[in-house]
């Protein structure tokens, strides 16, 4: 795992404490904190484990956090744990308004999907999306359009978007009349596409060149 510190981050100590030692995982709803600790203790010394629960019912949402003492231990857990856990670095606690569980996995039962393609089935909060009032209402799909003022290299762009689990294909298209870059990205689930757009829209790649990432219609039923 290669971890870079963003320009917006504070001191190295703050980054290490907040961004590099805590991972976010998807887990079966029956897991307890002890179960979570047991599954991830082999990768390093765990400071604490926590499970996200529904505030009303107290039931697990099937999401959890594991905090390690060292960044290298968190990185090892992400690399070596079962892919079904979808382990990623967690957002810092002070970014609660942007936290994963609120931005992506809403427990709004009015938007409960008809199907679930993610692991640990039966968890509708994985598949519905809670839009903040400031967000532009847009049609969500599994396909993304990526635009850049610089041309893309197929292998590099694929490697970037493959950091999000579920990448199905990356198609770089070239315009002989301009030097700009354009590509179509498709994931196996809308949840993966949502996460990729959230993380990579506005990302500088290479440094100084911002990517524009938007949803493309893929012919699927948007209610799912």
* Digit-coded pLDDT (tens) for 22-72: 999 999 999 999 999 999 999 999 999 999 988 888 899 899 999 999 888
pTM of the model: 0.41
Locate the domains of the chain by residue range.
16-89, 143-215
Q: Which comes out higher in pLDDT, residue 67 or 16? A: 67
| pLDDT value for 91 | 74
Q: Which comes out higher in pLDDT, residue 35 or 3? A: 35
| pLDDT value for 110 | 37
| pLDDT value for 120 | 44
- The domain 143-215: what is its CATH number? 3.30.70.330
CA-to-CA distance for 46 and 74, rounded, in angstroms?
9
| pLDDT value for 183 | 92
Nearest to 1 by CA among 74, 82, 85, 100: 74
16-89 fold: Alpha-Beta Plaits (3.30.70)
| pLDDT value for 83 | 87
The count of C-alpha atoms lying within 13 angstroms of the C-alpha of 133, restricted to the half-sphere facing its C-beta, is 0
Q: Could you give the C-alpha distances from 223 to 111, 166, 185, 186, in angstroms and in order?
A: 8, 20, 21, 18
**Looking at residues 72-99, what average pLDDT do you find?**
78
Structure tokens at 92: 């810092």
The answer to whether 192 and 166 have CB atoms below 8 angstroms apart is yes
**Looking at residues 70-96, what average pLDDT do you find?**
83
* Digit-coded pLDDT (tens) for 145-189: 999 888 888 888 898 999 999 899 899 887 667 778 899 999 998
| pLDDT value for 222 | 53
| pLDDT value for 204 | 87
Nearest to 224 by CA among 112, 107, 113, 108: 113
- Give strand pairing partners of 171: 184
| pLDDT value for 27 | 92
The answer to whether 205 and 134 have CB atoms below 8 angstroms apart is no
Q: What percent of the chain has pLDDT over 90?
A: 28
- Tell whether the model's pLDDT for residue 211 goes beyond 80: yes
* Digit-coded pLDDT (tens) for 94-150: 554 344 555 444 433 333 333 333 444 433 334 333 444 334 446 788 999 999 888
Domain 143-215 in the same topology as domain 16-89: yes
């Amino acid at each position: 795992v290669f971890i870079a510190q963003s320009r917006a981050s504070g001191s190295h100590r703050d980054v290490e404490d907040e961004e590099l030692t805590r991972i976010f995982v998807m887990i079966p709803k029956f897991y307890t904190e002890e179960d979570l600790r047991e599954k991830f203790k082999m990768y390093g010394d765990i400071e604490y484990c926590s499970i996200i629960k529904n505030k009303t019912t107290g039931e697990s949402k099937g999401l959890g956090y594991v905090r390690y003492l060292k960044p290298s231990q968190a990185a090892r857990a992400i690399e070596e744990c079962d892919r079904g856990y979808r382990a990623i670095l967690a957002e810092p606690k002070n970014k609660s308004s942007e936290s994963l569980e609120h931005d992506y996995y809403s427990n709004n039962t009015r938007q409960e999907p008809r199907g679930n393609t993610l692991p640990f089935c039966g968890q509708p909060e994985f598949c519905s999306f809670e839009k903040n009032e400031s967000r532009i209402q847009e049609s969500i799909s599994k396909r993304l359009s990526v635009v850049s003022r610089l041309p893309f290299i197929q292998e590099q762009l694929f490697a970037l978007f493959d950091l999000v689990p579920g990448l199905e294909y990356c198609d770089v298209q070239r315009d002989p009349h301009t030097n700009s870059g354009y590509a179509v990205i498709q994931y196996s689930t809308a949840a993966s596409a949502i996460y990729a757009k959230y993380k990579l829209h506005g990302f500088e790649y290479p440094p100084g060149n911002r990517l524009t990432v938007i949803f493309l219609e893929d012919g699927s039923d948007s209610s799912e």
